[in-house]
Amino acid sequence: MIRSREHSVISAYQRLVPTPKTSALALARWIEPLTQTRPHLNYLDELLTANLAAQERGESTQTLVSLPPRTGKSTLCAVWYPLYALTRNPTLKIGLVSHTPDLATSWARTIRDHAQNPRARIQVHKATRWTASEWRTSQGGGLWARSVGQALTGLGFDLLILDDVVKDHASAHSPANRRHLWDWWQANTRTRLEPPYTLLIVGTRWHTDDLIGRLTNPEYTPPNNDQPWQVVNLPAIAPDSPQCPLGRAPGDPLYTPLGRQTREAQLLEWAKIRAAVGTRTWQALYQGTPTSEEGRVFHAHWWQRWRVLPQSRPQRDLTSWDMAFKPGAQSDWVVGQHWQTWAGDRYLVDQIRGRWTFSETVRHMRAFVEQTGAREHLVEDRANGTAIIDTLRREIPGIIPINPTQSKTARAQAVTPEIEAGNVFLPTQAGWLPEFLLEVEQFPAGAHDDQVDALTQALSRLRLSGVGGARVSRLAAVRQLS
């Protein structure tokens, strides 16, 4: 049973100030009548309410929830749920954790503002600390908001909510960041739980080795029959298997809170997102089934071909360079590529590639740049690239140093949407094309990645410069996901 002191406090409090509604969503509609609900939110609401009931019976629960972005999960789980928990039991000590202090504090500030609403009926202890990130009830409970990495020393929680603890793609694909998050979880977070507790970890999947991935991986988290994980994955499009807990048929969409509630309209919205982000990101963020980084990044059927370039003047015209560290038969290659764009399409016009000394590289770059007539020249500011920039920047206008901040694989994955959507064209007759296709097909496990680096550098620049995007027709979009 729940602790006797708390039980008496709860009973007395509920007699004086009855709980206005019976779940987090009901409380949300009570305070904000225009609150939108959807089947997946109703399902989560019932699950979360049942977990609080289990805690009151003296049982601990651990729940992992993965949902696509912008589906209302954070508003329900990180705002209305802790608020409702305090209306139900004002003695609860609640921890709320997110990836940055700003995000955690913003959720906590929203909860604090709602707590002051007379309809919430939470008695706040006026003599205790009252800030956006930390405040208490008159009955001894309260809310403490923290971010990943912040100390939780001295705090103990009856209800702990981790919401979106992975910041973004770069963070999720950094082994050091994943290790830091796991170490912080084991040493500083899981030890803060006070049985009987309710633990809720909710977020978007990014990587097979993210926090949810490790918590469900027996290698990191051996099964515990006494305290199993409840695992809930609600993908954007219901898969053929396993059966969707919402009762959706395979191919049925998840309805977003702000979207139109027709099947065709929602399928089209999801299809546009899939075309924009690419299959790998779609599978991870929107279907909750990330694939291993060791798998293939580029697929042969994605590439388009050109025999004759468009006759109109290109919108953008640039070269992209990946420089070797040193010359020699076993060294990396120097690669220069010429790219032009029309509307949203990117054309690889020409390429040179060789194992050259520094002076040979300078000579080949001068000739290639003069041949292309391009005005913009991207050079990675590493290895021989730095020396090339210093040597030629006064001679060749438009040299732009590039300092990549992500891994090679992350940079390649970032440009796959344009390739998969059919916006990247390769020359049909180029003699270097077979070697190019072999390298991109084997990436990231192949022996060389110089052509891939030049490719991703160019496509990233064109994307950041606002040149077109992945496109999908309405009919093809609905057929793709239905």
Superfamily grouping for domain 4-277 = P-loop containing nucleotide triphosphate hydrolases (3.40.50.300)
pLDDT at 19 over 70: no
Distance CA 481, CA 274 (A): 9
Residue 379 CB contacts under 8 Å (≥ 6 apart), including other chains: 321, 323, 385, 388, 389, 399, 400, 401, 402
What is the pLDDT averaged over residues 307-330?
A: 83
Q: Which of 76-85, 150-159, 202-211 shows the lowest mean pLDDT across its residues? A: 150-159
pLDDT at 78 over 50: yes
User: Do the strands 316-322 and 334-342 form a parallel or antiparallel pair, or are they unpaired?
Assistant: antiparallel
- 466 pLDDT band (50/70/90 cuts)? low
pLDDT at 160 over 70: yes
Sequence ranges of the domains in the chain: 4-277, 300-464
Q: Starting at the edge strand that comes first in sequence, how are the strands of the sheet with 142-147 ordered?
A: 134-136, 142-147, 93-98, 157-163, 193-203, 61-66, 229-233
Q: What pLDDT sits at residue 126?
A: 59
What is the pLDDT averaged over residues 234-243?
A: 88
Q: What pLDDT sits at residue 329?
A: 41
User: Do the strands 345-354 and 334-342 form a parallel or antiparallel pair, or are they unpaired?
Assistant: antiparallel
Q: What pLDDT sits at residue 295?
A: 63
What topology does CATH give the domain 300-464?
A: Nucleotidyltransferase; domain 5 (3.30.420)
Distance CA 197, CA 451 (A): 53
pLDDT at 251 over 50: yes
Give the whole-number percent of the chain exceeding pLDDT 90: 52
Q: What pLDDT sits at residue 412?
A: 92
What is the pLDDT averaged over residues 196-207?
A: 94
Q: Which of 235-249, 251-265, 272-286, 316-330 shows the lowest mean pLDDT across its residues? A: 316-330
DSSP β-bridge partners for residue 401: 379
pLDDT at 15 over 60: no
Q: What pLDDT sits at residue 457?
A: 96
Q: What pLDDT sits at residue 290?
A: 86
Q: Where are the alpha helices (DSSP H) in 206-256?
A: 211-215
Distance CA 219, CA 100 (A): 28
Distance CA 392, CA 401 (A): 12
Closest by Cα among 417, 389, 189, 432 to 298: 417
Structure tokens given for 72: 């209302």
3-state secondary structure of 210: coil
Q: What pLDDT sits at residue 17?
A: 41
What is the pLDDT averaged over residues 263-283?
A: 89
Q: How many other CB atoms sit within 10 Å of the CB of residue 67?
A: 27
Distance CA 83, CA 368 (A): 64
The two domains 4-277 and 300-464 share their CATH topology (first three levels equal): no
Q: What pLDDT sits at residue 92?
A: 95
Give the whole-number percent of the chain exceeding pLDDT 70: 87
- 41 pLDDT band (50/70/90 cuts)? very high
Distance CA 183, CA 65 (A): 21
Q: What pLDDT sits at residue 130?
A: 61
Closest by Cα among 14, 83, 94, 102 to 45: 83
Distance CA 372, CA 350 (A): 9
Q: Omega before 290 cis (within 30°)? A: no
C-alpha torsion sign, points 66, 172, 417, 272: positive
Reported as type and span, the H/E element at residue 351 is strand 345-354
DSSP state of 312: S
- 276 pLDDT band (50/70/90 cuts)? confident
Q: What pLDDT sits at residue 464?
A: 72
Q: How many other CB atoms sit within 10 Å of the CB of residue 393?
A: 15
Give me the phi and psi of 145, to 5 degrees please.
Answer: -105, 130
- Mean predicted lDDT score pLDDT of the chain: 85
Q: Cα torsion for 25, 30, 33, 39, to the nearest 10°?
A: 20
What is the pLDDT averaged over residues 74-78?
A: 94
- 223 pLDDT band (50/70/90 cuts)? confident
